Amino acid sequence: MSPRLDAAGNLRGLRPGSVSGSAVLYLGSHIDTVPDAGAFDGVLGVVLAIALVKALGEHPLPFAVEVLAFSEEEGVRFGVPFIGSRALVGTIDSELLNRLDSAGITVAQAIRDFGLDPAGLPAAKLPAATLGYLEFHIEQGAVLEDLDLPLGIVTSIAGQSRFELLFTGQANHAGTTPRGRRRDALAGAAEWIGCVEREAVTAPDLRATVGQLEVRPGTSNVIPASVYATLDLRHALDSVRSEAAASLLDAGNRIARRRGLDFHSEQRLDQPAIPLDPELICALERAVTRSGSPVHRMVSGAGHDAMIMARSCPAAMLFLRSPGGVSHQTEESVLPEDVASALAAGAEFLKEAESMYA
């Protein structure tokens, strides 16, 4: 393949089609991950895509295949996900380019520090002649594990809200300040986190997570002056997700008022749930069946670049079983036999594509 780095730092490898100017089928996933991560989230999809291109050898296809290794999907550094794939659908705007990381470096500066030029972002966009996008990814949950199935065909990807929250009280002496005079930001945040858990229990299938909590000044004999927290909400139905968000922001305001705290929230992401492409899903089902694996349709609780690519082209995903149902931690794994099943299904999918796009 001819590899290149686009202005968003996506690493891309193009395998030309049998005629020049062929339309492009994209395969890939992301190569960034989370702190203390496993070794398969994202990168497995990139390696599988490369293996499928390698298996094609010199076989001519009536379309080009481009492998995509997205630069930034998780959103760890700048608090907003899908930066790499947003470049391909043209939604990187000045608000995103000016977002700061914890060292005060903007996204634009980070791109320049990487030796790239943000002015080149428009050239990263998908061409008009884009056939579609297929992403292989570990499931990151326990559905396939519990059903003892190797592969899952994703029908839709749950919507995702991300918030940054700040509880502000008053630092004071831990030993001299009586209960009635305290404006304890951590006690307020802790009460609110209890509301988050209760919301997730009452709204079926809602996933609500407080992943980050930073206490200031953060020493044992000072009543916490402020607490920074994040909230991550996921649900297959956007209405359930937005109702939960409104209810939890309201709870934060109520708790803060009663405790004499300030409560500030900023929404970092409001990513709607995305249905994947029905035609590609059917092609994937035929491919999985022909390759000898059972077909299982499922919703993805995790977010993926496919939900961004789906704005501009037909998108589909094939999940591989996550042993133990764990991910985003070092126990994350994948079974070699499931990788073999995914490769066999992927090879059959390319045959399907050959007849679909001939």
State the minimum distance, in angstroms, from the CB of residue 101 to Mn ion.
Answer: 18
Nearest to 86 by CA among 327, 276, 269: 269
Shorter beta-carbon distance to ligand HGY: residue 144 or 302: 302
Would you count residue 72 as binding ligand HGY (CB under 6 A)?
Answer: no
Question: Are 29 and 323 contacting, i.e. CB atoms less than 8 angstroms apart?
Answer: no
Among 6, 32, 72, 73, binds ligand HGY (CB under 6 A): 73
At 15, the amino acid letter reads R
Would you count residue 184 as binding ligand HGY (CB under 6 A)?
Answer: no
Shorter beta-carbon distance to ligand HGY: residue 108 or 302: 302
State the minimum distance, in angstroms, from the CB of residue 228 to Mn ion.
Answer: 22
Shorter beta-carbon distance to Mn ion: residue 42 or 132: 42
Tell me which of Mn ion, ligand HGY, none is bound by residue 81, counting a contact when its beta carbon lies within the kind-specific cut-off of 5 to 8 angstroms. ligand HGY
From the list 73-81, 100-108, 210-218, 311-319, the region that binds ligand HGY by CB under 6 A is 73-81
The interaxial angle of helices 185-202 and 238-259, nearest 10 deg, is: 150
Residues 86-125 that bind ligand HGY (CB under 6 A): none
Shorter beta-carbon distance to Mn ion: residue 67 or 227: 67
Shorter beta-carbon distance to ligand HGY: residue 75 or 169: 75
Residues 301-320 that bind ligand HGY (CB under 6 A): 302-303
Would you count residue 81 as binding ligand HGY (CB under 6 A)?
Answer: yes
Tell me which of ligand HGY, Mn ion, none is bound by residue 152, counting a contact when its beta carbon lies within the kind-specific cut-off of 5 to 8 angstroms. none
Spatial separation of the C-alpha atoms in residues 91 and 77, rounded to whole Å: 18
Other beta carbons within 10 angstroms of residue 57's beta carbon come to 6
